[in-house]
Amino acid sequence: MPEYKLPDVGEGLTEAEIVTWRVAVGDTIAVNDVIVEIETAKSIVELPSPYAGEVTALLVAEGDTVTVGTPIIAIGAAEAAAAAPAPAPEPAAASAGPPRAAAPIDTNVPPAGNPTLVGYGPKQRELRRRARVAVPVADAPVAEAPVATAASTRVLAKPPVRKLARDLGVDLAGIAGSGPEGRVTRDDVQAAASGVVPPAAASAASAAVPASVGERETREPIKGVRKQMATAMVGSAFTAPHVTEWVTVDATATVELVERLKARRDFAEVRVSPLLVAARATLLALRRHPLLNSTWDEAAQEVVLKHYVNLGIAADTPRGLVVPNVKDADALDLLGLARALEALTGTAREGRTQPAELAGGTFTITNVGVFGVDAGTPIINPGESAILCLGAIRPQPWVVGDQVVPRKVMTLAVSFDHRHIDGATGSRFLADVAGIIEDPATALLY
């Protein structure tokens, strides 16, 4: 019978965590039905099935991390045969042998109305699988490996909540959810834990630390997005010599512009905020200072100038920091940019950002102002040369002419790679961004 192997969904994926099975043993599935959610180093991805048939075994449990090429599900051929012309009947004696494998279906041409998502089934090149003992879930004791539950009886909980429950050793099936439609929340899981050390953490702690310490500490594995973030930030901080500069600017005109845009009919269905104006100001300033939209190629000892801007927006999510980017943001008008930013940040918060949306960024904006923070020294996103940090907008006394008046004030900070961007270039870029935020009408000069 065919086994669906964990595919590389993009960007050189080497492993992924099985977050949630969408099917159970005995379910009948069609080609492109979503069968599982996996968490890669960058995002949560839904994998569709390249086969039609009956699920005969789930080979990996929820919460397990497996390498690319590892079989994760076995699918029988009963329904797969219906997708192709029926073969001639075989002798009865043949029925005693193993079931025939379902022929893989070309997912590059998906059925109408059911587009292929990501993941294209097993590759032609076989990968070595990790040594393990695979027990079909149907035969495994429920208490030892609760891999999946039928969709009709599955506990409603988001992937981060399921992860928290696994880490705390809490059985979701025994919790009455307090969220919408009975969904289990983080508070529900933490309440169920009642301060008890998770079994896995307790066993690990007992072998290395006194019990009194183990009762006061828990350990959480670093994996997925958080592991990728840690690796990327360390690599960036100790590879590119960072320089950070700040400027404090009167953003009153930007705040007023935001209010006017909100009142416009064409902006009524999109979220408008100072981030939109800052993003537009950044794109305009990059036209004058393209070095901040470049890449340092260490191997070739060259600076690669990008004649497009894939604008990244650092987004805080339950799984960690991710930086999806708007492709060709410099080609969008203000309304198009507003729509793109809204879609990008909304998808990121839901944990549904796809690997392609995280790749290829050329410049990043991080907005710490949403947390009430005034400024910061951001670390450059790997593969880029600069990052802009937006601080909180606060009413402050400001000198206008000869008078001190209350104004809306914010701090901007830019970090850049000092290997090829000197202080003068970085300063001019920051001054241009600040000038547009202080007087958005100056954007007409760009």
Question: Is residue 199 predicted with pLDDT exceeding 50?
Answer: no
**Using one digit for the tens of pLDDT, what is the confidence trace for 317-348?**
777 778 999 999 999 999 999 999 999 988 88
Tokens of 350: 């839901």
CA atoms within 13 A on the CB side of 197: 17
Count the residues in the chain. Answer: 446
**Using one digit for the tens of pLDDT, what is the confidence trace for 136-194?**
444 444 444 444 443 445 677 776 777 777 777 788 877 888 877 777 887 887 788 75
Question: Is residue 429 predicted with pLDDT exceeding 90?
Answer: yes
Among 45-54, 104-113, 219-228, the range scoring the smallest mean pLDDT is: 104-113
Tokens of 191: 């309440």
Question: Is residue 201 predicted with pLDDT exceeding 60?
Answer: no
pLDDT of residue 376: 92
Buried b (16+ CB within 10 A) or exposed e, 231-247: ebeeebeeebebbbbbb
SS3 425: helix
Q: Is the whole model's pTM more than 0.85, yes or no?
A: no
User: Which residues make beta-bridge pairs with 367?
Assistant: 390
pLDDT of residue 189: 79
**Which class is 226-445 in CATH?**
alpha beta
Positions marked active-site: 418
| Residue ranges per structural domain of the chain | 3-150, 155-221, 226-445
Distance CA 213, CA 61 (A): 31
366: left (phi > 0), else alpha (psi -120 to 50), else beta?
Answer: beta
**Average pLDDT estimate for 69-95:** 57
**Which class is 3-150 in CATH?**
mainly beta
pLDDT of residue 121: 39
DSSP output for 214-280: HTT-------HHHHHHHHHHHHHHTTS-EEEEEEEEE-HHHHHHHHHHHHSGGGTTS---HHHHHHH
Could you please state the CATH topology (level 3) that the domain comprising 155-221 is classified under.
Answer: Dihydrolipoamide Transferase (4.10.320)
Q: Where are the alpha helices (DSSP H) in 289-378?
A: 334-349, 355-358
**Average pLDDT estimate for 435-442:** 94
Nearest to 61 by CA among 91, 27, 20, 107: 20
Share of the chain above pLDDT 70, in %: 74
pLDDT higher at 220 or 241? 241
**Pairing label, strands 363-367, 386-390:** parallel
**Average pLDDT estimate for 72-100:** 51
